Amino acid sequence: MRRKPQPTEDVAKMNATFKELPGQATMRVQAAEYKAKAFERELKSAKAWTPERMYWLLGLVPASLVALQILIAAKGDPNTLRSLVQNLNITAIFLATVLPFALVVLAFLCLSVALTELSSCRRMRANDPMNPALANALTRLGGAIALGLLVTALSVATMPSILFVTTLVICTTWLGLYMGGDSKHRFTTLFQAIVPVYLFAVMAAGVVFVLTSGMWLPREELTFGRAQTGAVYVLSSDSEWTKYLDEATNSVEIVVTKYVTKREIMPDDDNWTNQTVAELISRHL
């Protein structure tokens, strides 16, 4: 008696598929479509945030903040705006506006790397505690934490208080969102948008700083013989003319330089936002 030939594996799978209930087949098709759409979204997200585009956006942030600070200083006066642009001190505005954000960018970068590596470490430890890549992830995590502590120390000594507080609030919120996602095991979902979150955090800190920091030039008091001005900001000065912005009237004045007998920096002790955390601590202890 001949034995009936057994179907191959592919034929068996096809027969099993045809024997499925219609509802089960529909669910499988829907699951496959959902996975395909999810993969397509991830692919589009990866293409949207390429390193070149991120660098371009990070370069656009300082330029936008400088332009915003000039507009705020002009207070809607076109003549003042024109004078500020014509007599713009690139070094002063760079040091006052752009340079503090080097520490902000480093702080957010350290936090994002630390949280990402922490997620990787916990995931690898849960799946395979003996995974060799776990040691590398722990090394990167330790480096990010060490660099973050160094950035914090430098920020306390050099960063304006308002920018320090803003950065601290954003980092705390970011950490809270991570802890919320961590409790629900949603590492990947939470950090898929790490680049836009990073850029938004930098921009938010910059806008708050620009809105509260005021002018990028030091406040001065000019003396003309026995007369003195109030608080002014010297825009330019040469052997013939001195141009300054009057803080009280927000108007630009031009005087003969030889009549200016004294220039004195006015302290800004009442404005805590532009003082560093170290200065505030030393003055109140």
**Buried-state track 249-271, b at ≥16 Cβ within 10 A, e below 16:** eeebeeeeeeebeeeeeeeeeee
Q: 79: closest CA among 211, 264, 256, 250? A: 250
Partners of 246 in the β-ladder: 232
In this prediction, residue 45 carries a pLDDT of 52
- The angle formed by the CA atoms of residues 191, 197 and 202, to the nearest 5 degrees, is 140
- State the pLDDT at residue 111: 84
Q: Which residues of the chain have pLDDT under 50?
A: 7, 11, 14, 18, 20-21, 43, 46, 183-185, 187-188
User: What is the structure's pLDDT at 270?
Assistant: 63
Non-local (6+) Cβ contacts of 174 within 8 A are 108, 111, 115, 197, 201
Q: What is residue 87's predicted lDDT score, i.e. its pLDDT?
A: 86
Residue whose pair of structure tokens reads 């030039």 in the numeric block: 217
> What is the model's pLDDT at position 18?
47
User: Is pTM beyond 0.85 here?
Assistant: no
